[in-house]
Amino acid sequence: MRKFLTPCLLAAVLALTSCTQGAGSISDGQAAISAEQAGKMKWFDEAKLGIFIHWGIYAVDGVSESWSFHNGYISHEEYMAQAKRFTAQAYDPEEWADLIASSGARYTVITSKHHDGVALWDTKADDKSLVKMSPAARDVLTPFVNAIRSRGVKLGLYYSLIDWSHPDYPNIYRNGPARYDIAKEPERWQKFLDFNTAQLNELTQQYRPDLWWFDGDWEQSAETWKAKELTDKLRSDNPSCIINSRIQGYGDYGTPEIGVPVVRPAERYWELCYTINDSWGFQHKDVNFKTPQMVLRTLVDCISGGGNLLLDIGPREDGAIPEEEVAVLKELGRWTSKHAEAVYGTRAGIPDEHVKAYTSVNASGDILYIYLPYKPIGPVEVKGLIDNIKKIRVVGSTVEPQWKVYNKLSWSEVPGLVEIQVPQEALDSAITVLAIETDGPVQLYRGAGQVITMNE
């Protein structure tokens, strides 16, 4: 008998939270995270689901948030005039918070101010707010923050660094003439930075967000934004605050947008921000809604890769949340509460050579979760699992499916095939989850098989 113990096998002992999948091997491609950073990121890392909210004057005519004037589809004047028809008359922050909390989301991120510069709170830094510009005539942010906090959901504030409507921001249109050149008028730029700082101070003092979600950093460099100074200040004001990556290199986690990552992002912490249809804000014409099951599949895709899903909703100008979006959040709630153990606190799963499905592992590494977004017509097959299996169960039910190991040769290192028969009646209506409990942290055989030189 020839011994065939690949180094990959050892490497695969499940510290798989930090594994990247390469050509047949697993390697730790991520930089070490300090204990302090890991402690700060813990709630975010365990949360898995957040709800993003884009609400602003753009919902009135259903044009794209800020970009519609920046790209010249409508004039700035026409765009800003929407404010006069922004009513918030059906706005019920308690209802929003109930819907978000019951979806299973552990955090929310709301647009306190988009690139158009219109604030949702009563800013004193300038006159561009729903309080001063719209018939809603009130601060709509504070009651939402209170409602969300009272339900134990963490608060994230989206804040656009760019303010294309501000007289001291250097540009307004993508292709239009610049207002001025920062290099030639540094004092004017500093005035703009002071304005941002004043607003961020207001937000810190009034809401002390758990998470800052910046946007628009791409228009200036880290030096021009004074990104280090800014993030140092936010962190000294609140050492436990988490900052997204859109601050020219000074953030805590990666933020891929809409495009679901195909390979796992390199960052230890990441979050996919994602639309339910094709728009961030409410747009009457956009009916390209994903189904609740498709959104759930994207959630387990993120969970499999060790990341979070930040799913966006775009309320109408009156504050009503479109029914298609409500339906998605309700289905998320049904599924996440039934499968809570396979959602919160899980870690990235195993390479899909082992099982053709999404996977994750629990925090101690001795439960492998397999997510099946389809009805299997035969047994589910798991390859290369070294550990002994203690139990296999269907999460959210009392069912323990039958399973059997095939091809396990006692003298070979290569594990057998685990074949799991999932009974029809145990299938979830959207995504079924299997839990494989092993006798220790999941270990994987990563070799290419072997020639058996001696048989019985």
Is residue 280 within the footprint of ligand GLC (CB under 6 A)? Answer: yes
Q: Are 182 and 224 in contact (CB under 8 A)?
A: yes
Q: In the bound complex, what is the minimum distance in angstroms from residue 46's beta carbon to ligand GLC? A: 22
Is residue 257 within the footprint of ligand GLC (CB under 6 A)? Answer: yes
Q: Are 216 and 65 in contact (CB under 8 A)?
A: no
3 state SS of 387 = coil
> Which one, 156 or 349, has the nearer CB to ligand GLC?
156
User: Which of residues 47, 57, 140, 273 is near ligand GLC by CB under 6 A?
Assistant: 273
Q: In the bound complex, what is the minimum distance in angstroms from residue 331's beta carbon to ligand GLC? A: 23
Q: Are 180 and 132 in contact (CB under 8 A)?
A: no
Q: In the bound complex, what is the minimum distance in angstroms from residue 295's beta carbon to ligand GLC? A: 16
Q: In the bound complex, what is the minimum distance in angstroms from residue 324's beta carbon to ligand GLC? A: 19
22 Cβ contact partners less than 8 Å away, ≥ 6 residues apart: none
Q: In the bound complex, what is the minimum distance in angstroms from residue 215's beta carbon to ligand GLC? A: 5
> Which one, 95 or 286, has the nearer CB to ligand GLC?
286
> Which one, 215 or 252, has the nearer CB to ligand GLC?
215
Q: Residue 5 and residue 272: Cα distance in Å, rounded?
A: 38
> Which one, 215 or 428, has the nearer CB to ligand GLC?
215
The total of other beta-carbon atoms located within 10 Å of residue 56's CB is 27
> Which one, 250 or 403, has the nearer CB to ligand GLC?
250
Please provide residue 446's backbone torsions phi and psi, each rounded to the nearest 5 degrees.
-115, 20
> Which one, 215 or 317, has the nearer CB to ligand GLC?
215
> Which one, 55 or 207, has the nearer CB to ligand GLC?
55
Sheet containing strand 402-406, strands side by side: 380-382, 417-421, 402-406
Torsion of CA 79, 80, 81, 87, to 10 degrees: 110
Site string for ligand GLC, 179-218 (x = CB under 6 A): ------------------------------------x---
> Which one, 63 or 133, has the nearer CB to ligand GLC?
63
Long-range contacts of the stretch 190-193 (C-beta < 8 A, 24+): 192/163, 192/166, 192/168, 193/225, 193/226
> Which one, 112 or 129, has the nearer CB to ligand GLC?
112
- Which residues ranging from 18 to 57 are in contact with ligand GLC (CB under 6 A)? 54
Q: In the bound complex, what is the minimum distance in angstroms from residue 54's beta carbon to ligand GLC? A: 6
Q: Are 178 and 220 in contact (CB under 8 A)?
A: no
Pure H helices in 178-245: 186-207, 222-225, 227-237
Q: In the bound complex, what is the minimum distance in angstroms from residue 313's beta carbon to ligand GLC? A: 12
Q: Residue 251 and residue 229: Cα distance in Å, rounded?
A: 13
Is residue 163 within the footprint of ligand GLC (CB under 6 A)? Answer: no
Q: In the bound complex, what is the minimum distance in angstroms from residue 271's beta carbon to ligand GLC? A: 10
Site size toward ligand GLC, by CB under 6 A: 7
Site string for ligand GLC, 56-95 (x = CB under 6 A): ---------x-x----------------------------
3 state SS of 398 = coil
Tokens 């963490």 -> residue? 154
Residues in a beta bridge with 313: 53
Query: Among candidates 304, 350, 380, 306, which has minimal Cα distance to 446?
Result: 350
Q: In the bound complex, what is the minimum distance in angstroms from residue 275's beta carbon to ligand GLC? A: 8
Tokens 């993030």 -> residue? 231
Q: In the bound complex, what is the minimum distance in angstroms from residue 128's beta carbon to ligand GLC? A: 17
> Which one, 64 or 438, has the nearer CB to ligand GLC?
64
Closest residue to ligand GLC, judged by C-beta, is: 273
DSSP label of 305: T
380 Cβ contact partners less than 8 Å away, ≥ 6 residues apart: 355, 357, 370, 372, 419, 420, 422, 434
Interface with ligand GLC (CB under 6 A):
54, 65, 67, 215, 257, 273, 280
